[in-house]
Amino acid sequence: MSRTDDPTSEVTDLLQLLIRNRCVNDGSIASGDETRSVELLAGYLAGVGDHEVYEPQPGRQSLVVKLEGTDPDAPSLMLMGHTDVVPVNPDGWSRDPFAASVEDGFVWGRGAVDMLNLTASQAVALRRLADSGFCPRGTLIFLAVADEEALGTWGAHWLLEHQRDAVYADYVLTESGGFQIPTSEGPRLPVLVAEKGTFWSTIRVHGTPGHGSQPFRTDNALVTAAEVVRRIADYRPQTQIHESWRKFVEGMHFDPGVTAALLDPEHFTDALAEVPIGLARHWHACTHTTFAPTVAHGGTKTNMIPDHVELQVDVRTLPGQTGEEATALLRDALGDLADAVEIDSNDDPSTASPIDTPLWDTLARTTARLCEGSALVPSLMTGGTDNRFFRRAGSVGYGFGLFSRRLAYEDYAVMFHGNDERVDQESLALSTRLWEAVARDLVG
């Protein structure tokens, strides 16, 4: 590949190949087949650092490329990108989701923003650093990881449990963040410093079987379940103004009145009435434990009063919140029905990294150069990424990237796991330059 200072065509080419590999992870062990993209990336990075491939299940490979640092006391940095993507429904797409066509400066395809764009730009940055003779003081690691889209079971989770020394780094950068939010003081770039936890809960509702022809005063589990769902949907837990929310709002330079309302638990929900619905949903999720009833299974036959219904509720917890606290909220929502049902929950708590770190300072310095007039703001991710495993292992992990103004946050949010996913080439080049600059600044 010929080399110019402009990384655009190189990162575009690599992204196209990653998209065409269609490493679709549908949650089954046999899906994903990330081996194809590991082979692609290992070939692209041939001669760069030390390579190690891990394969905990057939086809579920992850690649570690390491540029060993010269100073064992210097901090280490990992750039981590997943190679798997979520399934598509091609009916909703106006382009072939795996053709990776380029039109008007945009690359189209599944994974274009989640997150093959960043995986490709990380690999290109590493290649460019190595080719320039970069010899870091602290170890620089690139991890192309499998299975992010299905809880990291055969990817980051497995690697930290079984190969911790091979993958652990003091600082970890992975998706997503870094889209430009316009403000009166210039663009703000969210750094995802924390992620909400999941507290997925199953609620079993019991009743007494009977004949559907005589419903008078029956103990119908479906009717009780409907009331359980209604109470959960109506539940209004308190607004929680935590540190990353406060710093986000303060960094956004809203009108003083808006800032005050967004930091006041009493007025927060009223303030959301003025905000577009997509943003309102996100901000609400950033400041509340959320409860979404999502699945109901019950009943067997039209003429039978059901004696058993099972509900699933997607509960998302805030930083610092324990399972006991989440259970207490769920029971509060159910009121006098709490004792009449069985609740089983799986607690995967929220994770957070401090904001006051050398990695933050590095990002602030490098983005100030790459994106004029910008400043960082901390942000809470309402979903989960592989960062949670690294934060629990002791790393400072942030979600970041860098996007041009051509990719608005609203579009980005809709494309994540959505239809017509695409990324502009300027964003690809910006992210490539970002990773290079970050590596030079933090471990160089």
Which is closer to Zn ion, CB of 114 or CB of 170? 114
The residue type at 102: V
Q: Please identify, among the stretches 51-59, 102-110, 171-179, 407-415, the one whose residues bind Zn ion according to the rule CB under 5 A.
A: 171-179
**Using an 8 Å Cβ cutoff, are 143 and 115 in contact?**
no
Q: Please identify, among the stretches 172-180, 269-277, 345-353, 422-430, the one whose residues bind Zn ion according to the rule CB under 5 A.
A: 172-180
Told to check if 341 binds Zn ion by CB under 5 A, we report no
Which is closer to Zn ion, CB of 152 or CB of 349? 152
Q: What are the residues whose beta carbons fall under 8 Å from the beta carbon of 192, sequence distance 6 or more?
A: 175, 176, 177, 379, 380, 381, 385, 387, 398, 399, 400
Which is closer to Zn ion, CB of 291 or CB of 403? 403
Q: Please identify, among the stretches 6-14, 170-178, 182-190, 317-325, the one whose residues bind Zn ion according to the rule CB under 5 A.
A: 170-178
**Using an 8 Å Cβ cutoff, are 110 and 19 in contact?**
yes
Q: Contact letters (x/-) for Zn ion, 246-275, by CB under 5 A?
A: ------------------------------
The residue type at 66: K
Smallest distance from Zn ion to CB 83, Å: 10
Told to check if 436 binds Zn ion by CB under 5 A, we report no
Q: Contact letters (x/-) for Zn ion, 101-120, by CB under 5 A?
A: -------------xx-----
Which is closer to Zn ion, CB of 27 or CB of 265? 27
Which is closer to Zn ion, CB of 115 or CB of 315? 115
Which is closer to Zn ion, CB of 307 or CB of 421? 421
The residue type at 332: D
**Using an 8 Å Cβ cutoff, are 212 and 438 in contact?**
no
Which residues, listed in sequence order, are joined to residue 211 by a DSSP beta bridge? 304
Smallest distance from Zn ion to CB 191, Å: 16
Smallest distance from Zn ion to CB 147, Å: 11
Which is closer to Zn ion, CB of 42 or CB of 381? 381
Smallest distance from Zn ion to CB 400, Å: 13
Smallest distance from Zn ion to CB 150, Å: 11
Smallest distance from Zn ion to CB 277, Å: 23
Smallest distance from Zn ion to CB 22, Å: 15
Smallest distance from Zn ion to CB 425, Å: 20
Number of residues that bind Zn ion (CB under 5 A): 3
Smallest distance from Zn ion to CB 176, Å: 7
Q: Please identify, among the stretches 44-52, 169-177, 239-247, 272-280, the one whose residues bind Zn ion according to the rule CB under 5 A.
A: 169-177
Q: Are strands 171-174 and 375-381 parallel, antiparallel or unpaired?
A: unpaired
The residues in 115-144 that bind Zn ion, with binding defined as CB under 5 A, are 115
Q: Please identify, among the stretches 34-42, 85-93, 167-175, 205-213, the one whose residues bind Zn ion according to the rule CB under 5 A.
A: 167-175
Residue with tokens 């009943």: 299
- Residues forming contacts to Zn ion in the complex (CB under 5 A) are 114-115, 175
